[in-house]
Amino acid sequence: MSESRGGVRYDPIAVSAESTVVSEYFPETAEETAYQSEAALEQAFIKLLESQAYEYLPLTSEAELIANLRGQLEALNGITFSDAEWERFFSEKIAGANEGPTEKTGRIQEDHVQILKRDDGSTKNVMLIDKANIHNNRLQVINQYEIAEGEGGAARSNRYDVTVLVNGLPMVHVELKRRGVDIREAFNQINRYQRDSFWGGVRVSSTTCSSL
């Protein structure tokens, strides 16, 4: 993560579980005076996250989101799901059809290690989040992810500006508004998303909503 001290800025150039290597430079101060569209603001924000070791993913469908989640959990836990194992784990431990915000938030906060029943009858603990070694968790960012009405139980179709994934789980939504737009519009939009579609399908876990 970037850090500024006394006019000096530090940006990561290499990040691992053991260490972080940063570069030091003196940024040129410049004030944005020209018109900036929301699209330009969004791209600038994503670029900033990429500079801080977030991986950008051009995901456009729930199938791609679920496939990425599977790969991220396999990497985090050093396992490979069979298709049958993943189907059971996903439907029972991640995106239960009858679960709402309380159940999904509680899982991440209090029950982040779930039990996988393997095809051979054995069991294995699977972490959704590594809380003991936080650097093992992988951060990704997607943008303009669209959910259609009825998909995953969504009441209306919505398109989200920027979403942060932690180990493939959609955890943070950022609603962007260009300069001059009342910030209340962003909060109203986020509240509508909460009612309509945040908790459907794979949109799991604890969704923290922000506006810029």
Spell out the domain ranges in the chain.
Answer: 56-211
Place of tokens 């001290």: 5
Residue 207 pLDDT: 42
Condensed to tens digits (0 to 9), the pLDDT of residues 61-94 reads 888 999 999 999 999 999 999 999 999 999 999 8
In words, the CATH class of domain 56-211 is alpha beta
Distance CA 110, CA 101 (A): 14
List residues bridging with 124 in a β-sheet: 116
pLDDT above 50: residue 129: yes
Count of H helices and E strands in the chain? 5, 10
Residue 57 pLDDT: 96
- Mapping DSSP to helix (H, G, I), strand (E, B) and coil, where does residue 81 land? coil
The model carries a pTM of 0.71
Residue 158 pLDDT: 73
List residues bridging with 139 in a β-sheet: 166
Q: Classify strands 158-166 and 169-175 as parallel, antiparallel or unpaired.
A: antiparallel
Residue 19 pLDDT: 56
* Confidence category of residue 117, pLDDT binned at 50, 70, 90: very high
